[in-house]
């Protein structure tokens, strides 16, 4: 359950050729030298991007992990279209968050503050653009701060979406609250419990619904949001949360799961909302994890199941982009970091364009020669 | 392995962690594993069919790495495998004239060659059974070790509509647990058979309650002449077993007698009860901590729970409820004990030649300085018995309940076979702090307090009541 940052530690099995084929041997990597801070790839859409954070408190329920907290506190990071091109770039994370994330992931090959020096593209506190845009909720993997999906979030905002990324408190190595208080990973000591995934996802769904409830009143830029067009995407257990939230919350119209084993019970009568599974070869049809096969039969709306050659569990996050800065040598056969980011951005955006903006997306209809890594694994 | 199956409620979640020794440092790994078989690294690839070559690998893996590998008579393994093979052929309603055990000499390699030749000749006669025969033969060889921590993990399946946290079966637990029912523990089962817990599924839907006496299972009484019958195993079907089970029940309080038919299947369980460590403050200043497995970080979770309950108040003691705890990591057992005593030996792990390594307390763990009572029962297995034996021998606290499972041959190690299945067995056997054998014998409680059907029906917990009495003395 506990995912390691980056291609790190070489635990993940590479998808050599999607929908089958054995993994290549592991490289015996000589120690490399950190290259200096990473820079996130430029967003590909027409809009400049602004970002800001909200801190919300749900007094209607106790925190599921901190038994001494009688309310659930959440940090929400917003990325949104702006017209403002100048201004200070937002920090990627704080030095303390970087340290906690690297230590938690067992990475000691670079200075602990390395990730905090990552160059982002979004302008801190920029004035929101005019207009109305669909909303995309993002949820990161277990132990991972929301910032590890920044590359995707910035790109979506540049293409005309408001993105609300949720840090699920105590399920990440580090979440910083106002005043500098840092919540660490209280959930990390119980991630082998039976039912842990189910329980975690239930809590996250409550987080998502609460954020949707609160956004209009708590964010002064919320006029940007077209509340009739909301989707959710996530990586790992965040992807499982996207599916679960879609089952539970009628406001969420469509969802994307990036390589997450799923936990929610879809009603036996089926769920007709659009859904996209995209994963590594661990998530082939009939593969070691049965959860996508199970859910596939109950998804009765538009759906796709894509497996990406050369990806591993964290390829859908910023992790590969950090590999050089952290002196982590990629696994042989792994996609170059920039390509992994491009694939993730391209297919996530294609899905959202299709289902929230009603734009035709041939990429989702059949394999593309421009993206030969993407295999269509199951046909409805 | 029973312990593992129980700990994870048959769903193998803890398979990687439970019942296994910590990975040895890299330097040692090569020397123990030899070249025949090695510990798994990373996620195994998909399983392939078991062949005679896989059986050969397992045979030499056992001889090279198992506890008594250096001294055991390898002929006993081959004979057991051969017996299983012939039984399986007969089970198919036929026989093979050439299915005669070859003469064995005691030379391990030559005997294997003779076995393999005979095996190939026989299986060529029944090619349709080939895969199945390979499986039963290897199962027979592993079973011949007679070791409750030796197991061949293969062909693990679960229902397609399984969700994380689900159970499988009838949704009921009785006072005779699955390990007793399957003969995996030598603990004596006493009549009557009664429901202790309704977990969900068919049993919940049919309205069963704790204390309901089970008078028959599919028409067969659970006890005959005072001895448990194999019928009890019918309460605990494993996937894909799905045939309905008929129970004849008696509710003593009302005198009601009735029959229910329960269909096994996956069922949803209460997520709160699945947390491996749970705690609460009992109103008389006693911290109650229940721990259902020695999973990674379990000991720290117990310490955190006690520290939290202690904040702003003085505690009179700790009740550590280890009933039904199927074991897990010996490292966690040692850490847990180290919060109650320092500078002591908690266990020995001994090779067949009598050389032992010693599990000392981890004296970096802060002492709690609190009186302790540990609740145990026949479901307390493996690392749980390591803990219980040390609590008793080192006089850390008192044990209340019933004798532990006696399922603690030694810390198991895993080896990956060529068809991506895992062979699991110990290379050392476990002894208590007084160098006593705990395996099979179990650990007797200081205070014997069994649960009765009347207690279960009334929601009473006499063992907990006894623990509180002891802590207040």
Whole-angstrom distance, CA of residue B3 vs CA of residue B324: 9
Residue A287 has what pLDDT? 79
| Among candidates B13, B42, B45 on the partner chain, residue whose Cβ is nearest the Cβ of A194 | B13
Question: Is pLDDT above 80 for B60?
Answer: yes
Segments of B148-212 assigned E as strands = 151-153, 167-169, 172-174, 195-198
Residue-averaged pLDDT of chain A:
91
Residue B24 has what pLDDT? 38
Rama region for A211: left / alpha / beta (φ>0; ψ in -120 to 50; rest): alpha
Q: Do B274 and A194 touch (CB under 8 A)?
A: yes
Question: Is pLDDT above 80 for B3?
Answer: no
Q: What is the pLDDT of residues A246-295, one digit of tens each?
A: 999 999 999 999 999 999 999 999 999 999 999 998 898 887 788 999 99
DSSP three-state, residue A225: strand
Residue B153 has what pLDDT? 96
Residue A28 has what pLDDT? 43
Whole-angstrom distance, CA of residue B273 vs CA of residue B254: 29
Whole-angstrom distance, CA of residue A85 vs CA of residue A50: 9
Q: How far is A304 from chain B (nearest CA, A)?
A: 20
Which domains does chain B show, CATH number per domain? 29-153 (no CATH), 167-267 (2.30.42.10), 271-472 (3.90.226.10)
For residues B267-290, average pLDDT: 96
Residue B100 has what pLDDT? 96
For residues B370-399, average pLDDT: 98
For residues A234-250, average pLDDT: 98
Q: How far is A358 from chain B (nearest CA, A)?
A: 33
Using only C-alpha atoms, chain B has a radius of gyration, in whole angstroms, of 23
Whole-angstrom distance, CA of residue B458 vs CA of residue B196: 11
Sign of CA dihedral B4, B7, B10, B13: negative
| Among candidates B42, B46, B165 on the partner chain, residue whose Cβ is nearest the Cβ of A194 | B165
For residues A71-93, average pLDDT: 98
Best A194, A204, A266, A268 residue to mutate vs chain B (most B CBs within 10 Å) = A194
CA A175 to chain centre: 16
Q: Do B271 and A290 touch (CB under 8 A)?
A: no
* Residue B215, C-beta contacts closer than 8 angstroms, at least 6 positions apart: B192, B221, B222, B248, B249, B250, B257
Q: Do A290 and B162 touch (CB under 8 A)?
A: yes
For residues A41-50, average pLDDT: 98
Question: Is pLDDT above 80 for A10?
Answer: no
Q: Do A194 and B162 touch (CB under 8 A)?
A: no
Decide if B415 contacts B38 (C-beta within 8 A): yes
Q: What is the pLDDT of residues B116-155, one digit of tens each?
A: 999 999 999 999 999 999 999 999 999 999 999 999 999 8
| Among candidates A67, A194, A288 on the partner chain, residue whose Cβ is nearest the Cβ of B46 | A288
Decide if A182 contacts A106 (C-beta within 8 A): no
Interface residue ranges in chain A relative to chain B, Cβ cutoff 8 Å: 11, 13, 22-23, 67-68, 188-190, 192-199, 202, 261, 263, 265, 282, 287-288, 290, 293-294
Given pLDDT bands bounded at 50, 70 and 90, which one contains residue A29?
Answer: very low
Q: How far is A285 from chain B (nearest CA, A)?
A: 12
| Among candidates A22, A190, A288 on the partner chain, residue whose Cβ is nearest the Cβ of B276 | A190
Q: With CA atoms as reference, report the closest residue to A311 among A2, A17, A53.
A: A17
Residue A289 has what pLDDT? 85
CA dihedral B237, B238, B239, B240 (to 10 degrees): -60
Q: Do B45 and A282 touch (CB under 8 A)?
A: no
Beta-carbon pairs below 8 A across chains A and B: 70
Q: How far is A317 from chain B (nearest CA, A)?
A: 21
| Among candidates B162, B163, B275 on the partner chain, residue whose Cβ is nearest the Cβ of A193 | B275
Q: Do A190 and B11 touch (CB under 8 A)?
A: no
Q: Which residue of A has its CA nearest to B40?
A: A11
| Among candidates B160, B163, B295 on the partner chain, residue whose Cβ is nearest the Cβ of A193 | B295
Whole-angstrom distance, CA of residue A72 vs CA of residue A209: 13
Q: How far is A10 from chain B (nearest CA, A)?
A: 9
Percent of chain B scoring above 70 in pLDDT: 93
Q: Do A198 and B164 touch (CB under 8 A)?
A: yes
Q: How far is A331 from chain B (nearest CA, A)?
A: 14
Contacts of B46 in chain A (CB under 8 A): 287-288
B274 touches chain A (CB under 8 A): yes
Q: How many other C-beta atoms lie within 10 A of the C-beta of residue A379?
A: 8
Per the listing, tokens 């920044």 go with A150
Decide if A351 contacts A147 (C-beta within 8 A): no
Q: Which residue of A has its CA nearest to B42?
A: A11
Residue B460 has what pLDDT? 98
Lay out the sheet containing B245-251: strands in order across. Answer: B213-217, B245-251, B256-262
Which domains does chain A show, CATH number per domain? 8-378 (3.40.50.1820)
CA dihedral B125, B131, B135, B141 (to 10 degrees): 40
Given pLDDT bands bounded at 50, 70 and 90, which one contains residue A51?
Answer: very high
* pLDDT, greater one: B29 or A138: A138
Phi, psi values for residue B260, rounded to 5°: -125, 150
Lowest pLDDT segment from B28-32, B177-181, B193-197: B28-32
Q: Which residue of B has its CA nearest to A284?
A: B46
pTM: 0.91
Residue A2 has what pLDDT? 41
DSSP state of A143: B
Contacts of B310 in chain A (CB under 8 A): none
Chain B segment 12-31 residues within 8 A of A by beta carbon are 13-14, 17
* Residue B444, C-beta contacts closer than 8 angstroms, at least 6 positions apart: B399, B403
Residue-averaged pLDDT of chain B:
92
Percent of chain A scoring above 70 in pLDDT: 91
Question: Is pLDDT above 60 for A5?
Answer: no
B163 touches chain A (CB under 8 A): yes
Best B163, B300, B328 residue to mutate vs chain A (most A CBs within 10 Å) = B163
Q: Do A290 and B160 touch (CB under 8 A)?
A: yes
Q: What is the pLDDT of residues B21-48, one digit of tens each?
A: 444 333 333 334 346 999 998 877 889 9
Q: What is the pLDDT of residues A206-216, one digit of tens each?
A: 999 999 999 99
Residue A331 has what pLDDT? 85
Segments of A241-336 assigned E as strands = 254-258, 275-279, 303-308
Residue A25 has what pLDDT? 38
Residue A296 has what pLDDT? 97
Whole-angstrom distance, CA of residue A92 vs CA of residue A116: 6
Q: With CA atoms as reference, report the closest residue to A205 among A177, A167, A243.
A: A243
Given pLDDT bands bounded at 50, 70 and 90, which one contains residue B4?
Answer: very low
For residues B340-350, average pLDDT: 98
Q: Do A198 and B163 touch (CB under 8 A)?
A: yes
B102: exposed, middle or buried (Cβ count in 10 Å: 0-12, 13-18, 19+): middle
Given pLDDT bands bounded at 50, 70 and 90, which one contains residue A379?
Answer: low
DSSP state of A89: B
DSSP B294-331: B-TTHHHHHHHHHHHHHTTS---EEEEE-TT---B-HH
| Among candidates A13, A22, A198 on the partner chain, residue whose Cβ is nearest the Cβ of B165 | A198
Q: Do A290 and B158 touch (CB under 8 A)?
A: yes
Decide if B375 contacts B464 (C-beta within 8 A): yes
Orientation of helix A196-218 relative to helix A237-248, angle to 10°: 70
Residue B11 has what pLDDT? 28
Given pLDDT bands bounded at 50, 70 and 90, which one contains residue B284?
Answer: confident
Q: How far is B88 from chain A (nearest CA, A)?
A: 29
Q: Which residue of A has its CA nearest to B18?
A: A192
Alpha-carbon distances, residue A215 vs A150, A210, A224, A227, B113 (angstroms): 20, 9, 11, 10, 73
Q: What is the pLDDT of residues B296-329, one digit of tens each?
A: 999 999 999 999 999 999 999 999 999 999 999 9
């Amino acid at each position: 359950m506990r995912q390691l940052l980056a291609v790190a530690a070489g635990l993940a099995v590479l998808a050599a050729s999607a929908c089958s084929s054995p993994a290549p041997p592991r490289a015996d990597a000589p120690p490399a030298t950190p290259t200096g801070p990473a820079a996130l790839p430029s967003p590909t859409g027409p809009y400049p991007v602004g970002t800001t954070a909200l801190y919300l408190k749900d007094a209607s329920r106790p925190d599921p992990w901190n038994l001494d907290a009688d309310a659930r506190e959440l940090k929400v990071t917003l990325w949104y279209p702006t017209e403002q091109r100048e201004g200070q770039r937002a920090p990627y994370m704080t030095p303390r968050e970087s340290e906690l994330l690297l230590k938690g992931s067992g990475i000691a090959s670079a200075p602990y503050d390395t990730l905090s020096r990552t160059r982002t593209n979004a302008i801190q506190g920029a004035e929101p653009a005019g207009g109305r845009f669909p909303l995309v909720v993002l949820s990161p993997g277990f132990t991972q701060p929301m910032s590890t999906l920044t590359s995707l979030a910035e790109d979506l905002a540049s293409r005309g979406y408001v993105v609300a990324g949720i840090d699920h408190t105590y399920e990440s190595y580090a979440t910083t609250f106002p005043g500098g208080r840092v919540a660490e990973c209280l959930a990390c000591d119980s991630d082998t419990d039976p039912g842990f995934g189910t329980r975690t996802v239930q809590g996250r769904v409550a987080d998502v619904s609460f954020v949707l409830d609160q956004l209009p009143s708590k964010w002064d830029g919320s006029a940007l949001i077209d509340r009739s067009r909301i989707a959710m995407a996530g990586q790992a257990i965040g992807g499982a949360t996207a599916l679960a939230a879609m089952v539970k919350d009628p406001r969420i119209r469509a969802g994307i799961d990036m390589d997450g084993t799923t936990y929610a019970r879809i009603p036996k009568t089926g769920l007709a909302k659009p859904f996209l599974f995209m994963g590594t070869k661990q998530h082939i049809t009939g593969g070691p994890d049965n959860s996508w096969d199970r859910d596939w039969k109950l998804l009765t709306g538009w759906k796709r199941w894509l497996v990406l050659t050369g990806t591993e569990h964290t390829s859908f996050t910023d992790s590969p982009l950090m590999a050089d800065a952290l002196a982590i040598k990629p696994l042989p056969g792994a996609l170059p970091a920039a390509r992994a980011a491009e694939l993730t951005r391209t297919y996530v955006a294609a899905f959202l364009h299709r289902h929230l903006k009603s734009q035709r997306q041939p990429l989702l209809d059949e394999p593309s020669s421009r993206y030969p890594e993407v295999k269509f694994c199951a046909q409805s | 392995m029973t312990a593992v199956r129980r700990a994870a409620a048959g769903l193998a979640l803890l398979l990687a962690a439970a019942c296994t020794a910590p990975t040895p440092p890299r330097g040692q790994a090569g020397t123990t594993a030899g070249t025949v078989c090695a510990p798994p690294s990373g996620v195994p690839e998909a399983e392939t069919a078991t062949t005679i070559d896989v059986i050969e690998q397992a045979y030499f893996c056992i001889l090279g790495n198992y506890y008594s590998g250096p001294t055991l008579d390898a002929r006993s393994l081959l004979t057991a495998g051969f017996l299983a093979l012939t039984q399986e052929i007969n089970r198919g309603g036929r026989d093979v004239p050439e299915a005669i055990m070859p003469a064995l000499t005691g030379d391990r390699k030559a005997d294997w060659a003779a076995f393999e030749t005979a095996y190939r000749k026989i299986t060529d006669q029944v090619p349709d059974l080939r895969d199945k025969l390979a499986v039963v033969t290897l199962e027979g060889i592993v079973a011949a070790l007679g070791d409750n921590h030796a197991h061949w993990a293969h062909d693990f399946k679960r229902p397609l509509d399984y969700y994380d946290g689900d159970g499988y079966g009838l949704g009921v637990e009785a006072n005779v647990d699955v390990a007793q029912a399957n003969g995996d523990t030598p603990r004596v089962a006493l009549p009557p058979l009664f429901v202790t817990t309704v977990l969900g599924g068919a049993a919940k839907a049919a309205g069963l309650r704790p204390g309901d006496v089970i008078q028959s299972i599919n028409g067969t009484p659970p006890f005959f002449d005072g001895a448990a019958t194999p019928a009890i195993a019918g309460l605990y079907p494993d996937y894909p077993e799905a045939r309905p089970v008929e129970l004849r029940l008696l509710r003593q309080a009302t005198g009601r007698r009735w029959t229910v038919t329960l269909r096994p299947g996956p069922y949803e369980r209460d997520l709160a009860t699945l947390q491996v460590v749970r705690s609460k403050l009992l109103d008389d200043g006693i911290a109650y901590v229940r721990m259902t497995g020695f999973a990674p970080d379990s000991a720290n979770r117990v310490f955190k729970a006690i520290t939290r309950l202690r904040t702003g108040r003085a505690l009179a003691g700790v009740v550590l409820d280890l009933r039904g705890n199927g074991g897990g990591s010996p490292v966690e057992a040692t850490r847990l004990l180290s919060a109650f005593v320092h500078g002591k030996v908690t266990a020995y792990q001994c090779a067949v030649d009598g050389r032992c390594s010693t599990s000392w307390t981890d004296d970096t763990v802060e002492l709690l300085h609190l009186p302790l009572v540990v609740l145990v029962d026949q479901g307390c297995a493996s690392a749980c018995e390591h803990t219980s034996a040390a609590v008793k021998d080192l006089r850390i606290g008192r044990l209340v309940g019933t004798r532990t499972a006696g399922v603690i041959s030694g810390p198991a190690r895993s080896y990956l076979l060529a068809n991506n299945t895992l062979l699991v067995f110990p290379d050392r056997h476990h002894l208590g702090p007084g160098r006593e054998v705990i395996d099979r014998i179990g650990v007797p409680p200081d205070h014997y307090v069994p649960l009765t059907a009347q207690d279960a029906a009334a929601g009473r917990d006499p063992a907990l009541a006894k623990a509180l009495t002891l802590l207040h003395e």
